[in-house]
Amino acid sequence: MNTSGFTPPHNLSSLRQLLADIDSKQAPIRLGGQSRRVLNAMLGTPEKVAVASITELAERHGVNASTLTRLAHRLGLSGFNGLQQLFRLELTGSPLHFYSEQASQLVREPGLADSGLPAKVGQQECSNISAMIDNLDPDSFNRAAELMAAAGQIRIYGVRQFYALSYFLGYALGMIRPNVATLEAGRQGIADALSPLQPGDVLLVTSCFPYTDSVIRTAEIARHHGIEVIALTDAQDSPLHKIASCSFCVPNRSLFYSNAMAGFFVLGEALLSEVAARLGDTAIVALRRREELISELSPLS
């Protein structure tokens, strides 16, 4: 089949039109009956597709998760995340719909707490962490750790719930090496916060869907000025993935009414541990110095 002129869909309108063209045999691609059935059902409930995991969707439509991945590739998309992104964009004419739709999962299923909600959330987080580890690229991981160990200066930027992650990363990395700070735009503005960084320095950014414009724009500007960008995000279709020198995708689907965070913290701990190993005695000296100061100040603590 000749698909040289085929343009993958970029939103749900173009996806619906493509399905109509497939049904009328006017499209340059073909789908099997099962794939057409599943895609048609997904288009009927875009709000559910936008917030569900690939496993949940597969179970809902009676197919294997691999079927959804193959469907996405057949549509010319990068994978399930690329397909889901079309539904998310439809959902977020107002990005705040993301959170209310996440919470509606809990409202639709009253009694979840009685049926083991803590266990379900825990299992989902464990699944997110396992998927992140399984898909972690060792070369990117090693390069990110080397950049964080060798850079003259490092700034870390995340907002909203990712501020907690950025603060943690800044604090922990500052324990083992100098010239690390959390970028806090509210205090001095993005330009002033970035201005000390030189080419070869590092900006580590964290954000996932629905992405924060200020984080994306800050990463773009930093990259333009020769600053190495490391991104902790959620998918290869993330705008940060396209900007960053090193990008890590952390699945974050769960019953929590916002983005699940456990996988991001685990990845952060792994990166910091690798940086400490690379710094070697330098990290140990820094930690011992900190321990001495803590001991001297202990009567004040």
Q: What is the CATH classification number for the domain harbouring 288?
A: 3.40.50.10490
CATH code for the domain in which residue 29 is found: 1.10.10.10
Regarding whether 208 and 138 lie in a shared domain, the answer is yes
Question: Averaging pLDDT over each range in 85-89, 146-150, 251-255, which range is the top one?
Answer: 146-150
Residue 230 lies in a domain: yes
Regarding whether 270 and 217 lie in a shared domain, the answer is yes
Domain count, the chain: 2
Q: Supply the range of the domain harboring residue 148.
A: 132-300
- Which pLDDT belongs to residue 1? 44
Question: 81 near 235, Cβ under 8 Å?
Answer: yes
- The verdict on pTM exceeding 0.85 is no
Regarding whether 105 and 45 lie in a shared domain, the answer is yes
Regarding whether 239 and 205 lie in a shared domain, the answer is yes
- Distance CA(232)–CA(206), nearest Å, equals 5
Residue 6 lies in a domain: no
- Which pLDDT belongs to residue 119? 83
Residue 19 lies in a domain: yes
How many other CB atoms are found less than 10 A from the CB of residue 31?
20
- Which pLDDT belongs to residue 106? 65
Last residue of a domain, one of 94, 109, 124: 109
Residue 127 lies in a domain: no
Regarding whether 146 and 276 lie in a shared domain, the answer is yes
Regarding whether 148 and 237 lie in a shared domain, the answer is yes
Regarding whether 20 and 65 lie in a shared domain, the answer is yes
Regarding whether 252 and 148 lie in a shared domain, the answer is yes
Regarding whether 80 and 28 lie in a shared domain, the answer is yes
Residue 190 lies in a domain: yes
Residue 62 lies in a domain: yes
Quick one: pLDDT band at residue 96, thresholds 50, 70, 90?
A: very low
Residue type, 14: S
Lowest mean pLDDT among 38-42, 91-95, 134-138, 206-210: 91-95
Regarding whether 139 and 87 lie in a shared domain, the answer is no
**Terminal alpha carbon distance of the chain:** 72
Residue 247 lies in a domain: yes
Lowest mean pLDDT among 25-29, 103-107, 147-151: 103-107
Residue 235 lies in a domain: yes
